[in-house]
Structure 1
Amino acid sequence: MSPSEALSQFKSYIQLEKNYSKHTVREYESDLLDFFAFLQSEGIKSLHEVEYIHARLYVTKLYDESLARTSISRKISAIRSFFKYGNREFGLNESAFRSLYHPKKEERLPHFFYEKELQQLFEATEDDSHMSLRNRAILELLYATGMRVSELTSLEESDIDMRIGILRVMGKGRKERYIPFGQFAQDALEHYMDVARSKLMKQSKHTFVFTNMRGQPLTPRGVRYILTDIVKKASLHTKIYPHMLRHTFATHLLNNGADLRTVQELLGHSHLSSTQIYTHVTKDHLRKTYMNAHPRA
């Protein structure tokens, strides 16, 4: 079986049986195509010929290209999953990548907004144009719920219960969770839905909550563009990406006394270790506050 045929079957498997998101499937496909190109450059014509030495050479090549450790780790995971599947279905030798260690992750603390910065962002969306009403609803909802941008853009009208202030999102691995949201987000969302949404949709018909200027469902790229525009209007000298509001959501909750398990549940993290990085952020915040406020610090 050729690599392309094996890849096609593997894609179907992770889409239909493993319920991987479209984004993850695209990344896995890209990682595997890159690995297949490497094998071809090394004169390896069959996947059955792949050995540990080829895996080591490939990872060395990735380091030589100065890829981030997280990217290298993801590629190893993608190829390891492919060979595990290939071992079961086509008799491939999976030991080559199973023996590799994942590179140690770089310790990078997540970036977040302070409350004064957030207030400037909200003030930048205060006019009554249809676009501003939509943008404010997006900003309020991302901060109020900590949802991922893909979860925001896939949100449908039936997912929101305004009566009790809860929305349903479909997270990674098609895992469903419910997130409460407060009065500020509810007011912004209701104002957008009642006044602006139908005007922006024009002749389009769909059930997605957020729409672009042409009336089509908003994309994650569109949300990034909107947030960048809000930062410019707020005259903040910083870059913004949707995940920063997710980081801000988690950090502010922990700073104000929320317990780690609750934050884990709200974020939809499978493992508590993914949430624990925010405890480092809050400790850093506490230390800075102490150093600035204590007379003998």
Structure 2
Amino acid sequence: MDIAVAAAGIGPGDEVVMPAFTIISPAASVVRAGATPVLVDSSLDTWNMDVAQIESRITPATKAILVVHIYGLPVDMTKVLEIASRHNLIVIEDAAEMHGQFVHDRPCGSFGLISTFSFYPNKHITCGEGGMVVTDDETIAEKCRGYRNLCFQPQRRFVHEELGWNYRMTNMQAAVGLAQLEKLDAHVLRKHQIGERYLERLSRTPGLVLPPVEAEHAKSIFWVFGVLVKDDCSLSPADIMTRLAEQKIGTRPFFFPMHQQPVFKKQGLFQSETYPVAEKLAERGLYIPSGLGLSDEEIDLVAEAVHDIMVSV
């Protein structure tokens, strides 16, 4: 994402419209570039940024729309591209969680002028760490190659016109990634099976809102299986996570909204801003084991443990 933001020419004085509910990485890259993230609240129907709110956040300083696909359902990119075209804006697409996912019949990661993927261990394709930047623009591709390689120049290697990063992928990591790519279809199929099994096992569990499964533009890929704890439940997500941990079942909380991040507050960002849906997702959400290595028996064990906790309230 650092490379994508730099290659897009985003810098001081620019604004980037992006979701309030996301991992911190995209916002951090925008802030490090000297630009200003401008936040959009989420939709409870998809847990993604509410596309209908994007245009109200665009100003003369807006340079890009940074889309982050969240958890399983992607953002409706057709609508995002229409908005970007009307306002002559760059689209950066964070497809870190969407390996193998589609919007209509087009793959996620193919919509942005620049798109990024993550190869962190919990992704459908992993190299252990790292990621990938993709673009159809050869000029931007060349910029990205330079930025990931300290901006060495072919003719005068140690004379630098710009500052870059040492973000090179090793040959070993690349080989692991290519081997994983061959299994992507099987990994996506298994994620669907895990998600469907959890939906069936938890359908009668009280106190939970199960994840959004389908929108008009896509079906969930179930990258993770997240749930929301209903407002009237006496147990908080933290309570549930603690009880599951006692049974050696790992969980994670949902992302923490960008406007509430202490590091950004210290920088004077997002003062007095509120994004109710993003806040609700962060306060009431958690996700349960969703890894590709889960057996059906383990899925059933987790679902039973969650059910028992919720009916004990």
Asked if these proteins are the same fold (TM beyond 0.5), I'd say no
TM-score (norm 1): 0.23
TM-score (norm 2): 0.22
